[in-house]
Amino acid sequence: MENNVQLLGQLRSQTIKAIIFDFDGTLLDMKDAMKNAIQETFEANRIEADMDLTLQEIGALVETLQGYPLPKIILNSYDLVKVITAFQKLTFIKKILISTQIFSKYLEYAKESFIFPGTESLLKTLNKKCKCDLFIVSHSKKDNILFHLEKNGLKKYFKGIFGTDDLPALKPHPNAFEPAIKDYPISIPRKQFVMIGDMPSDIEAGKEAEFKTIGIASGVSNKEILARLNPDILVGSLNELDDLIKNENAISNPKESLRVKS
């Protein structure tokens, strides 16, 4: 528990310089949009599959594809779709057609996705208690991020918002964070930056950058998947993280919310 308590102490004592959020699956609830896109496409093509596993696999694929230019998607299409368990018995062409259908439906449904409950409360807590700079670094396009933030009155909380069109590299490469941290003095220790995300690539990128990391099991990756990356803190929701920061006298059950580190 030592490292987890240490990070909470840093947040409460205002020694964290900046917090970088992922967007889709972390601040924006896109799980239903993804699930509906998969279910409709699978029903139309008479495909039966383990939905939880498929949701995790395709969710990770979509997270990657959002940051890829079309030529790169085409060139890497074979390797991209072969990891989907539900596609194993399909021809390559069929895999591509179904993937395209799912992705197209997802983009439409995602427009109607909602910001997670508790998002603004957490942002207010971070502003009040932590007094650190807040950023978004996402594989989603910046226009899409701004649409949802402005719709919910949340843009004002962020010092910088960077979508896939602004990034020099994609997560899990740590250079994805360059636009957010480029103006900070190099003398600031990396442990004063925190990455918060719902995907393994978020935690991997944060660790590669030597940031502290917080996993939020609110997207398509469950706690078990994120726990393998050993984030400093692992919670099920933004509300849970908000409560942890606010309640200075309570230490949550480490088996449920905090990832214990040796």
Summarize pLDDT for 216-225 with one digit per residue, the tens. Answer: 998 888 899 8
Instruction: Map residue 33 onto helix, strand or coil.
Output: helix
Note the pTM of the prediction, 2 decimals. Answer: 0.84
d(CA 68, CA 130): 35
Low-confidence ranges of the chain (pLDDT < 70): 1-3, 63-80, 249-262
- Which pLDDT value is given to residue 84? 86
- Which pLDDT value is given to residue 63? 66
- Which pLDDT value is given to residue 168? 93
- Which pLDDT value is given to residue 262? 35
> What is the per-residue pLDDT across 70-110, written as a single tens digit (0 to 9) for each?
445 555 566 667 778 888 888 888 888 888 888 888 888 88
Tokens of 248: 């200075």
Classify domain 2-28+115-246 at the CATH superfamily level.
HAD superfamily/HAD-like (3.40.50.1000)
Amino acid at 5: V
Instruction: State yes or no: cis peptide before 172, omega within 30 of 0.
Output: yes
- Which pLDDT value is given to residue 117? 92
